[in-house]
Amino acid sequence: MVRKRTSLVTMTVVTAMLTSCGLTGVRQGGGGEERQSGAAPTARPNVPASTSASSSPTGDGADTRPALASTQSTETPTLKIEVVGLNRVAGKHLVIQLRLSNTGTDKQLSWTGELGDNTRPLGEIRWASGIGVLDAPAHRWILPYKPADSPCLCSDEQRDDLGYFIEPGKSITVYAVTPAPSGNPATTTVVAPPGPPMIDVPISDDPVTPPPGQDIPDPDAQPVTVISHRVTVPSESLDKSEETADDGRDLQVNLSSDVLFALNKADLTSRAKAVLTRTAKLVDTSAGATVTVEGHADSSGTDAINDPLSQRRAQTVQRALSGLLTRSGVRFQAKGYGSRKPLYSNDDEEGRRRNRRVTVTFAKPRPAETRPATTPGADPVPDGNGPTSRAKYDGQPFAVEVTGLRRLAGDLGVLTYKISNEGDAEAWNHELNWSADWMSYKYHAASNVRLTDAAARRQYLPGRILVQTDDGTDTYCACTEMAGVRLSTGQIAPGRPKEFWSLFALPTGASSVQIKIAQYPPLRVAVP
């Protein structure tokens, strides 16, 4: 069951202000993994085993290494984040070192809240627990290990004597130790909560070099728990007949029961064949031998009605798909779940409509052939100067500019866009988190962004980070956060633009997509 956020008013202000690093291990399952690594207490030769720091690596000249990549905090534009070290250790660990700089001239910056990981339970605001990597081919969001005696194998403001604030013009260097991304890649995408991901950062196999006064712990010196979350990217047909979720391994196709069946019936409608034919073609291109079919209902009615109805509908879809497939050797498993596994809140009609579904899950199909470009007139995004559209918010004129659309492995893409207040007074851009599916997320985020492939009549939604909990799955937007310490991210002062980001699936055959951000007029951008 997906845990839903039920109150727009609370916006988890107190919760996320305290959230940083208290952690309960993620159990083995569909979303996260828990395993033990490195019980031997011996230190690797290229990573010091000590976890103490004799002095604080702060101030001018403390760490002058060239940056491998950089980003800015969306909430605090004067906070600059630079990757100054990215080293693979023993072929299985990754040491990430970030330089945090206060580029302002008059205000101290607190860094611990900005670097904290919202997906972990409450704890002190001390750790750089949100630093990690996006393993795009595996669709995994990888965060620092959890050792037995600490919430995070990462920088600790108190233990490492880093100081709570960064003075104007000064910098500190923080670290995180994570599992290495799969496949021994030469580069990876480094993520940190304050700003957009840093893409194609080169990984070194050289020994780790920490700044003066800082020691980095050896992950093989003690048992550690892997913290890794599944990333799924959803899309939906424009006619609302189906929506899909791709986690890099499996494709989950949610077929609308309102399209497939009449009310309270399990017989297919005249529209159902076209929808099921499209689904059968996807199954035909998959190499998987097993297809699961699950029937689901909304919260209306009782279990006595919903359970048998969802079972009959799952069996009906199974029989129909079996007759439409062109390949042999496919095994089906059909089951009805009634209203026990909602994807969306049942508090409104749109959520209930989406929860009335039959879900077909199978191994992700092979990439489809690239179709000819059919959508001319796209604007490229060269050197960060992209197309712009304008709207009024809170009485002030605003502009949104697409600054990048980068393709990653695993059919993923990162969209970045800049919002500027062109008026003369500070104003809010609340609509960024007012998407139709906002209640499916644990916290508020800039989720009101859609990519549309007009030729394929398909719409792409922001990616989701799925975190397994004791009572289900918490869903976080793979996009700019707008809750807790980042509650005022949508508040923009004149002359102080902010850059936002979202993770999407990118169509392989489209030459361009239409990008709709909140209530701004849509933009058309070339697909890389």
pLDDT, tens digit (0-9, with 9 covering 90-100), for 165-199: 999 999 999 999 999 999 999 999 999 999 999 99
DSSP 3-state assignment of 438? helix
User: Per the structure block, which two tokens stand in for 93?
Assistant: 């660990």
pLDDT, tens digit (0-9, with 9 covering 90-100), for 415-428: 999 999 999 999 99
Using the predicted structure, report yes or no on whether residue 65 has a pLDDT greater than 80.
Answer: yes
- Which of the 8 DSSP states describes residue 113? H
Task: Decide which of 186 and 369 is more confident.
Answer: 186
Q: Are 450 and 233 in contact (CB under 8 A)?
A: no
pTM: 0.84
Q: Which pLDDT score, from 0 to 100, does residue 472 have?
A: 83
At 368, the pLDDT band (50, 70, 90 cuts) reads low
Q: Which pLDDT score, from 0 to 100, does residue 385 have?
A: 59
Q: Are 526 and 380 in contact (CB under 8 A)?
A: yes
Q: Are 515 and 415 in contact (CB under 8 A)?
A: yes
Going by C-alpha positions, the residue among 283, 282, 359, 277 that lies closest to residue 328 is 283
Q: Are 511 and 380 in contact (CB under 8 A)?
A: no
Integer Cα distance of 152 and 112 in angstroms = 13
pLDDT, tens digit (0-9, with 9 covering 90-100), for 150-167: 889 999 999 899 999 999
Burial class of 394 by CB neighbour count within 10 A (0 to 12, 13 to 18, 19+): middle
